[in-house]
A and B are shown apart, each in its own frame.
Chain A
């Protein structure tokens, strides 16, 4: 109504002003667009593209071919294995935590505390998780010394595994479980208690509700969260870098080696090829995630 009334006054003038206002308004998007192009699009293109070029700037398939090298394949295998294992453990334990949290008052102090703690451990841990585990399970760690002095159990009887692949499992689970709580809790809260009541009035049992209604409805969300956990484990660098200061057992650490020592496997620009391989894996997983998530969103309205 107001638009019609005001346009009566001077049609041509206000239309002209609006058009010029619109063309100016586009300018407001420019700073952000330039920023994102320079610091998100350009680095991604450079990271992925540099794998196709030798150090003298000529095009080469050499680095990409290195992705088929047994050493590189093994690190990708290690990364996939570590991410899959910790994602599954994290998803199952995290889902149980969410299930238990249904009993908490959604606005209560306990719930707020758990949410905040989950956020800290899932998103900001990084190097600090590594230090916590060194303090706990390092050679001088509190738990290590307790087990050794009090119970006579030496967890490092077969060598110090904390700084190698097996040592990464517990710290990774340590951030995967809270990540699951953050991503899965909204779906579980969206499960309607009315469905449970309908099930009960129709003669169903509590176990029957979870088997026939709860779990099928939640399955897509669970799968989506599992994929997100896998991607987060696969891309995580800080915890592993702080624990394993040498070696390149997983892909991010191999990228570190390629970035800092220039030649790995006798190739330059291998970091670019590894980055490409990594972004392919994470990209496919995140694409699947968005597909499953769309399916999961059906029940969350």
Chain B
């Protein structure tokens, strides 16, 4: 408990006011999903999720969700098999490019997605010609969007583990580099890899800007499509998706505390 903290009363006042500001819209969204247009209570919106009659209406959402999950998998693959090995390599062999690497990894924070999409449009035009218009190709762009998040989580783990000593010990015991990376280094930074992957999933599930302007169908764009026919369904999916992201971040919080505890 920090001695700089305000009194219990001040804390409660701030807490109650801010909680009200945040809980009223979220609570209203929940109430909204149990309401008919005339204001009477109903469960119809939730039961319609399983109702074959609304299947046609829901089809864009399922398509979007499937695409988003595929995108999440490909993006996590990029994070784990392109970003993470490069970070290990940079930290072990090229400490001099660490600062430059960090600058590049955090750069996407300063470049708005809406700007990136202007330049991505012609690139995806040529990708469509050569690889096709499969929505999974968006993962190349998403890999950049998640870069700062993934970099921070993985770097925190790398800083907490002594990669150099670990790799030298393994090498001197005769391990080859693939064994060192897969069986020695990766397990030691697994918390960072896990946190980075979960954050990437959260970013991909919530991404709208790039997908919408490149005309791909993902979870977020599909909600906008469905909202034109039925305003209640997007509210339901909003609550479910926000809850899912919240749980992902709670897990990351637990994992992160594990990292801090591991430090001396």
Which one of A128, A235, A237, A282 lies within 8 Å of B241 (CB-CB)?
Answer: A128
> What residues of chain A lie closer than 8 Å to B122, measured between beta carbons?
46, 50
Which residues on B sit within 8 Å (CB–CB) of A127? 206, 208, 220, 223-224
Complex: how many Å from CA A231 to CA B140? 24
Binary contact readout A92-121 vs B (1 if CB under 8 angstroms, 0 otherwise): 010011011011010100001101110111
A238 partner residues in chain B, CB cutoff 8 A: 208-209, 212, 220
* Residue of chain B at shortest CB distance from A194: B3
- For the complex, what is the distance from the CA of A301 to the CA of B236, rounded to whole Å? 45
Given contacts A135-B32, A196-B3, A278 and B116 within 8 Å (CB-CB)? no
Q: Does A75 contact B (CB under 8 A)?
A: no
Given contacts A36-B104, A252-B114, contact A237 B231 (CB under 8 A): no
B213/A102 in contact, CB under 8 A: no
Tell me the complex Cα distance, A113–B1, Å.
17
Q: How many whole Å from B148's CB to the nearest CB in chain A?
A: 10
- Chain B 62-99, CB within 8 Å of chain A: the 1/0 string? 00000000000000001000110110011001100100
A100-B90 contact, Cβ under 8 Å, with A128-B206, A279-B111: no
* Docked complex Cα distance between A271 and B223 (Å): 26
Find out whether the CB atom of B231 lies under 8 angstroms from the CB atom of A140: yes
Contact B110 A231 (CB under 8 A): yes
Q: Which residues of A contact B22 (CB under 8 A)?
A: 117, 121, 174, 177
* A123 in complex: contacting residue of B2, B94, B110, B202, CB < 8 Å: B202
Contact B29 A132 (CB under 8 A): yes
Per the 8 Å Cβ criterion, residues 236-255 of A in contact with B are 237-238, 241-242, 252, 255
Tell whether, in the assembled complex, residue A135 and residue B28 are in contact, meaning their CB atoms are under 8 Å apart. yes
Q: Do A136 and B28 touch across chains, with their CB atoms under 8 A apart?
A: yes
Residue of B nearest to A196 (CB): B4
Interface residues of A in 121-138 (CB under 8 A from B): 121, 123-128, 131-138
Q: Are B231 and A138 in contact (CB under 8 A)?
A: yes
The answer to whether A29 touches B118 (Cβ under 8 A) is: no
A-B contact pairs, 27 of them (CB 8 A): A25-B93, A28-B86, A29-B86, A32-B86, A38-B123, A40-B116, A43-B120, A44-B111, A44-B115, A46-B118, A47-B116, A96-B14, A97-B14, A99-B6, A103-B5, A107-B257, A119-B252, A128-B206, A138-B231, A140-B37, A140-B231, A234-B112, A238-B209, A241-B209, A259-B213, A278-B114, A279-B112
The answer to whether A241 touches B212 (Cβ under 8 A) is: yes
Which residue in chain A gives the minimum CB-CB distance to B89?
A28
Task: Determine if A208 is an interface residue (Cβ-Cβ < 8 Å).
Answer: no
Contact B11 A100, beta carbon cutoff 8 Å? yes
Contacting B at CB under 8 A, from A163-194, are 174, 177, 189, 191, 193
- Interchain nearest-CB distance for A247 vs B (Å): 16
Q: Is the CB of B3 within 8 A of A197?
A: yes
* CB of A142, distance to nearest CB on chain B (Å): 4
Contact of A132 among B82, B202, B238 (CB under 8 A): B238
Distance in angstroms between the alpha carbons of A138 and B238 in the assembled complex: 15
User: Are B118 and A272 in contact, CB atoms less than 8 angstroms apart?
Assistant: yes
Whether A40 and B144, one on each chain, are in contact in the complex, defined by CB atoms closer than 8 angstroms, is: yes
**Cβ B93 vs Cβ A128 within 8 A:** no
Q: Are B121 and A259 in contact, CB atoms less than 8 angstroms apart?
A: yes
